[in-house]
Amino acid sequence: MADKMKAEPKETNVKKNWFKRHPILTVFLALFLIGLIFSSDNPQTSNSEEQKTRINQINTQQVTQEQVKQCIPNWNCDSWSDCNGGTQTRTCTDSNNCGIIKDKPIIQKSCVVEKAETSQRLTELSNSLKELKKNLEKQSNINKKIIQCTELCAGEDINIPYIKNTCRSDCYQIYYYAGEEALDKYIEELRG
């Protein structure tokens, strides 16, 4: 029996001696346990950036949802554009800047060009075509005069490219720098 009593105190001493034999591990273990206790009791004392970000996101979402519930859009629209290609458009903005498009007025609609507008546009196009035809006829006449001037200038040597090109260049420069009347006078001189 005496042996049994002596053995029991040795087991208790072994348990106590483990912490004494491993002081570094004991300190780390104690710090780890203290950290767990304080971080789980009070999450606001943690310096975790992730937790701060989550809290800010939650607060921002709550404010945004409350603002949306309270905000009533006040739509202001410009006047409709002219009918172009069967469509009219306008711009509408929310003066309260609610950021929602619920109940936004329409910004595009179909339309029909009135007969008076169509007639006016056709008249404008017709006048433009007449002006274009007039300018083309004038340019065509000038080209004919330059060809006539080139033929008169080169004479029998019209088939020699250098002479033909030199004469054409001279005739064109007379027209370009002095005008159509000067070209007509030069043609008369070449004929005479």
Q: How far is CA 136 from the centre of its chain?
A: 41
Q: Say whether both 119 and 62 belong to one domain.
A: no
Q: Say whether both 159 and 107 belong to one domain.
A: no
Q: Say whether both 155 and 129 belong to one domain.
A: yes
Predicted local distance difference test score (pLDDT) of residue 65: 57
Predicted local distance difference test score (pLDDT) of residue 101: 80
Q: Say whether both 123 and 150 belong to one domain.
A: yes
Predicted local distance difference test score (pLDDT) of residue 64: 57
- Residues of the chain whose pLDDT is less than 50? 1-2, 4, 7, 41-46, 63
Predicted local distance difference test score (pLDDT) of residue 46: 45
**CA nearest neighbour of 19 among 9, 30, 8:** 30
Q: Say whether both 127 and 178 belong to one domain.
A: yes
Q: Say whether both 181 and 129 belong to one domain.
A: yes
Cβ proximity of 68 and 98 under 8 Å: yes
Domain that includes residue 43, residue range = 20-70
Q: Say whether both 120 and 144 belong to one domain.
A: yes
Q: Say whether both 60 and 83 belong to one domain.
A: no
Predicted local distance difference test score (pLDDT) of residue 52: 61
Of 10, 42, 70, which residue sits at a domain end?
70
Predicted local distance difference test score (pLDDT) of residue 103: 82
Predicted local distance difference test score (pLDDT) of residue 51: 57
Q: Say whether both 37 and 83 belong to one domain.
A: no
Distances (CA, A) of 155 to 16, 90, 149, 175, 177: 130, 67, 10, 20, 24
Q: Say whether both 155 and 132 belong to one domain.
A: yes
Number of domains in the chain: 3
